[in-house]
């Protein structure tokens, strides 16, 4: 196992087999293998070299988690280009500042980032437009162990951004010890392969990189990326994709606990039911004890699926009570400790030897000691040599080769490390006693009615020592003073809270990626007397910023109406998904569709997962049974034997453009002008057999209104309409396409699943049949589907079918018809109206 530089690790990764990355962007799921990632990385490296980038140049990656992020990362390293990752929820101003500091040669931009301005003349490139089919051989570049691999910047909200310089040596010092340990147990994991990791940590964070780019390949594992932090979506992903390990910040475990307490009755018994295990060896007793917990809490495990067994948490402190709660349910909670400056791991709990409350032992090659003031110091090859172009900052961080972590902690006699809190956040009382905010917050969060809390030290008006202040997020009707009194009754004298404040927003300010509390922001707010401050960005500000982004404006008023903003129904769907991601809420589409102002949107977001579905939207009932084995078999037999031959009795068909279909290797969208109910069978006749039986046509849901809304129709009308619906779904693999906004998101999700299953989708973008053969304007939905789902569109023109079965006729007549296929269109961008016009023109030109 040769590991001189990270390139050696990449060569092993690229030679591996099987799936590597699964990406669910809320609309479609894409899967890429190790071989595909390796090939695309080499091709991207070759493109960088061809563009004139050389060793030592910097490329900024400003993107959400996605497979292309990993490709770009490895592509840069292959030619010695330094990666500068930035969290995709950082401000565009921060991006511009960092790009200027490092003199970036290229900025790679993701799909879910705010609009970026002010980067010129630095070129930008849309990361999601990376061509996975591209090939190329990068030039040979000599890479050595001490070459810089990446520079990671802190947020720099109140000061200049500070860049941590990370070399190949630093990262290898982290992953080689872990790899050595993993290989000891790899053979035992074979029956459970492939191990799937749902990674919710940002790739711009070092621990997120380690748990996506480095550690899963050691186990030939699969990494899953998803959008947002909604607990229902997270558990669905874990269960549906048979995930074994969730990688996240501790806050996610807290959110999931709240969800489990609502969704699984036995979760309320965590820690109360004894499962002693069988008598015998320690291993036998431990295994049977865990099995007992699984069985008793099987409704909780049913939420996550049978394969799920562990949480890996990092990037922020984990509350010991929260760790115990999940452990009592039979899940392993594995936490580590590290910093960006340590690339990132310092300590790590062994999966088969965790100790509650501990962040584990130092990994091989890392030295640790505790200074006289309790601060943890670290030394080893994993530690950075300093900050980018910041000699003074580097000198302050090191002392005799030891790095000052800024964390207060203890090291037990067996090497287990326990973190108490951040040195700079520790409160020193007038008596000279130390108060760790996390200790007080733990007591506050246990008081009924407290949703979250932040404890900060603020000096009295005359200066001097700090006093303990608590800022609380409360349920409606809960009194701040009552909460403080109850908490103080449980706290030691030096920990007692002097003042309490109610935070004016539903959530405390936290960093976007790692969900760390922005304690400095809270402290400034308390110093101002709890008055609303422009430094505080709560739900209102964040929501207004998102609405402004999708409305194409610099700012919006809370009283602005949706009509005033000019948001189309498709833009509102994208806004809804973005709001769910930003606030971790699952929003009901019916209620969202009924919103009329920005204030309405704020109320919907604040209700979030607690709000019951309104019922205002159309019911969504997409057929999946028609892609089952029996249905597929029946359709495969019926189409060529009697359905299509019956259609040929009425149609003398001429087909053109089949040469455009020969190169199709993956599912596409067939965009067809709409003339008649005969359109679908005639297009199927025209398609070559290899494509004909892998098509799913969209049919207007409104045509089957009696099926979906039986209470509005007679029993006979419902029966007839439902029969037509099921026959169309069975024999043509058709599915309903809602015309109203409330069903748009589910429709996109379903179409994405159909494409993922290997079926092309046939859509009529006009939304209605022709009167006299004319082509009506195409609706913007075809542009959104093609762009958001990243699927080629094949324009198709049909002619003559309105004279064979006009929409006003009950019976067909015989006659000639023509079907013409055009060259596939690859559409991108978010101007869906323009994309639809492009497809429409391509159809008209046939």
pLDDT over 70 for what percent of the chain? Answer: 87
C-alpha neighbours within 13 Å on the C-beta side of residue 513 = 25
For every residue of 156-215, which 3-state class applies, written as one string?
CCCCCCCEEEEEHHHHHHHHHHHHHHHHHHHHHHHHHCCCEEEECCCCCCHHHHHHHHHH
For every residue of 673-694, which 3-state class applies, written as one string?
CCCCCCHHHHHHHHCCHHHHCC
pLDDT at residue number 728: 92
Residues 788-839 pLDDT 10s: 888 999 999 999 999 998 888 888 899 999 999 999 999 887 788 899 999 9
Task: Output the CA torsion 245→251→254→259 (10° steps).
Answer: -80
Residues 271-291 pLDDT 10s: 555 555 445 545 555 556 666
Whether the domain at 6-170 and the domain at 171-355 fall into the same CATH topology: yes
Nearest CA among 682, 637, 702 for reference residue 800: 682
CATH of 539-610, one of 1.20.1440.120, 3.40.50.150, 1.10.30.50, 1.10.1200.10: 1.10.1200.10
Question: Is 0.85 surpassed by the pTM of this model?
Answer: no
Give the residue carrying structure tokens 């597929």. Answer: 632
Quote the CA–CA distance of 775 and 814 in Å, as a whole number: 22
Quote the CA–CA distance of 441 and 454 in Å, as a whole number: 6
What's domain 171-355's architecture? 3-Layer(aba) Sandwich (3.40)
Contact 204, 85 (CB under 8 A): yes
What's domain 426-521's architecture? 2-Layer Sandwich (3.30)
Residue 362 pLDDT class (50, 70, 90 cuts)? very high
pLDDT at residue number 727: 93
Q: Which two tokens stand for residue 719?
A: 């029966």
Residues 557-586 pLDDT 10s: 777 776 667 665 556 667 777 777 666 666
CA angle 487-492-496, nearest 5°?
55
Quick one: which H or E segment has residue 57? none
- Residue 689's DSSP bridge partners are none
Q: Which two tokens stand for residue 450?
A: 């407290």
Quote the CA–CA distance of 453 and 461 in Å, as a whole number: 23
Fold of 6-170: Rossmann fold (3.40.50)
Burial letters 87-96, b for 16+ CB under 10 A, else e: bbbbebebbb
> Domain limits of the chain?
6-170, 171-355, 426-521, 539-610, 625-844
Whole-number Cα distances in Å, 515 to 317, 418, 508, 600? 11, 21, 10, 26
pLDDT at residue number 585: 64
Nearest CA among 652, 682, 655, 657 for reference residue 845: 657
- Residue 796's DSSP bridge partners are 672, 821
Residues 379-412 pLDDT 10s: 999 999 999 999 999 998 998 889 999 899 999 9
CA angle 555-123-95, nearest 5°?
45
Residues 499-521 pLDDT 10s: 899 998 888 888 766 677 888 88
CATH homologous superfamily for the domain 625-844? Glycerol-3-phosphate (1)-acyltransferase (3.40.1130.10)
């Amino acid at each position: 196992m040769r590991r001189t530089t990270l390139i050696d690790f990449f060569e092993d990764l690229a030679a591996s087999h099987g799936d590597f990355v699964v990406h669910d962007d809320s609309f479609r799921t894409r899967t890429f293998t190790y071989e595909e990632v390796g090939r695309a990385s080499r091709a991207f490296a070759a493109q960088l070299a061809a563009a004139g980038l050389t060793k030592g140049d910097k490329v900024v990656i400003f993107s959400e988690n996605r497979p292309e992020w990993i490709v770009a990362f490895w592509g840069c390293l292959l030619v010695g280009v330094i990666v500068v990752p930035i969290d995709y929820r950082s401000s565009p101003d921060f991006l511009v500042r960092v790009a200027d500091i490092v003199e970036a040669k290229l900025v790679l931009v993701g799909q879910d980032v705010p609009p970026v301005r002010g980067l010129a003349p630095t070129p930008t490139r849309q990361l999601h437009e990376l061509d996975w089919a591209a090939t190329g051989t990068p030039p040979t570049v000599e890479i050595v162990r001490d070459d810089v691999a990446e520079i990671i910047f802190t947020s720099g909200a109140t000061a200049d951004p500070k860049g941590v310089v990370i070399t190949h040596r630093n990262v290898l010092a982290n992953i080689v010890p872990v790899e050595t340990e993993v290989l000891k147990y790899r053979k035992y994991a074979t029956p459970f392969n492939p191990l799937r990791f749902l990674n919710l940590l940002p790739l711009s964070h070092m621990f997120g990189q380690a748990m996506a780019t480095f550690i899963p390949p050691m186990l030939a594992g699969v990494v899953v990326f998803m959008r947002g932090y909604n607990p229902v979506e997270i558990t669905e992903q874990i269960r549906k994709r048979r995930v074994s390990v969730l990688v996240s910040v501790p806050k996610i475990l807290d959110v999931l606990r709240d969800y489990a307490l609502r969704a699984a009755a036995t979760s309320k018994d965590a820690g109360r039911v004894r499962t002693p295990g069988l008598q015998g060896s320690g291993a036998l007793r431990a295994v049977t004890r865990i099995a007992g917990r699984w069985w008793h809490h099987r409704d909780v495990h049913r939420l996550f699926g049978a394969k799920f067994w562990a949480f890996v948490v990092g990037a922020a402190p984990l509350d010991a009570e929260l760790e115990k709660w999940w452990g009592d349910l039979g899940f392993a909670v594995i936490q580590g400790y590290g910093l960006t400056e340590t690339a990132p791991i310092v300590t790590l709990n062994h999966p088969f030897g965790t100790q509650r409350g501990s962040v584990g032992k130092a990994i091989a090659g890392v030295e640790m000691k505790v200074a006289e003031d309790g601060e943890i110091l670290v030394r080893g090859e994993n530690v950075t040599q300093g900050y980018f172009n910041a000699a003074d900052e580097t000198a302050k961080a090191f002392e005799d080769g030891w790095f000052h972590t800024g964390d207060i902690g203890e090291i037990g006699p067996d090497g287990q490390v326990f973190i108490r809190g951040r040195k700079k956040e520790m409160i020193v009382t007038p008596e000279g006693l130390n108060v760790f905010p996390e200790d007080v917050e733990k007591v506050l969060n246990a008081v009924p009615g407290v949703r979250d809390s932040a404890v900060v030290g603020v000096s009295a008006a005359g200066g001097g020592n700090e006093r303990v202040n608590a800022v609380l997020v409360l349920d409606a009707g809960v009194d701040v003073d009552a909460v403080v009194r109850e908490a103080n009754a449980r706290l030691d004298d030096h920990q007692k809270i002097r003042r309490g404040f109610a935070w004016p927003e539903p959530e405390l300010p936290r960093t976007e990626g790692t969900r760390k509390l922005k304690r400095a922001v809270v402290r400034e707010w308390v110093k101002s007397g709890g008055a609303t401050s422009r430094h505080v960005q709560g739900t209102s500000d964040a929501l207004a910023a998102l609405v402004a982004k999708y409305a194409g404006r610099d700012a919006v008023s809370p009283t602005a109406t949706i009509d005033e903003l000019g948001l189309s129904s498709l833009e509102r769907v994208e806004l809804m998904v973005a709001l769910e991601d930003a606030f971790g809420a699952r929003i009901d589409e019916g209620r969202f569709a009924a919103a009329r102002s920005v204030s309405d949107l704020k109320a919907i977001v604040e209700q979030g997962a607690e709000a019951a579905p309104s019922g205002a939207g159309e019911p969504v009932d997409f057929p999946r049974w028609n892609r089952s084995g029996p249905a597929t078999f029946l359709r495969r037999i019926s189409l060529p034997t009697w359905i299509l031959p019956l259609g040929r009795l009425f149609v003398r068909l001429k087909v053109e453009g089949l040469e455009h279909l020969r190169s199709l290797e993956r599912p596409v969208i067939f965009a067809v002008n709409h003339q008649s109910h005969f359109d679908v069978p005639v297009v199927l006749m025209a398609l070559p057999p290899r494509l004909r039986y892998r098509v799913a046509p969209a049919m207007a849901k409104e045509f089957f209104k009696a099926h979906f809304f039986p209470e509005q129709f007679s029993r006979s009308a419902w029966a007839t309409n439902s029969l037509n619906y099921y026959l169309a779904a069975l024999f043509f693999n058709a599915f309903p396409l809602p015309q109203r906004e409330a069903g748009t998101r589910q429709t996109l999700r379903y179409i994405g699943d159909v494409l993922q299953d290997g079926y092309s989708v046939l859509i009529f973008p006009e939304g209605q049949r022709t009167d006299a053969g004319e082509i009506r304007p195409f609706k913007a939905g075809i542009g959104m589907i093609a762009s958001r789902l990243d699927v080629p569109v094949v324009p198709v023109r049909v002619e003559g079918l309105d004279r064979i079965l006009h929409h006003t006729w009950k019976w067909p007549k015989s006659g000639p018809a023509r079907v013409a296929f055009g060259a596939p269109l690859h559409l991108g961008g978010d101007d869906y109206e323009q994309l639809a016009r492009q497809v429409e023109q391509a159809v008209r030109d046939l």
